[in-house]
Amino acid sequence: MDESIIFSILLFAIGLFSVIISIANWDYFLKPKKGTTVIKLFGRSGTRIEYMLFGLLIMSAGVVSMSIESL
């Protein structure tokens, strides 16, 4: 496989993982010591929405990168 395809798949997988984290509401990822500032600012629900948006953005980057490589 070409390195750019692997990178695109990796981007998509990381974005998907972030979306799954936000949907599943996992304490392990939503309560790290460094993440408490974000949770204090936005609350737990806001942090989950942020994870969801970040994941969708990363997934979109992976899909766009994959489609550009197929041209």
The full set of domain ranges for the chain reads 3-70
Find the mean pLDDT for residues 38-66: 91
One DSSP character per residue, 5-54 reads HHHHHHHHHHHHHHHHHHHHT-HHHHS-GGGHHHHHHHHHHHHHHHHHHH
Mean pLDDT comparison of 13-22, 39-48, 62-71, highest-scoring range: 13-22
Among 9-13, 19-23, 25-29, the minimum mean pLDDT is found in: 25-29
With a pLDDT cut of 90, the percent of the chain lying above it is 52
- What was the pLDDT predicted at 14? 96
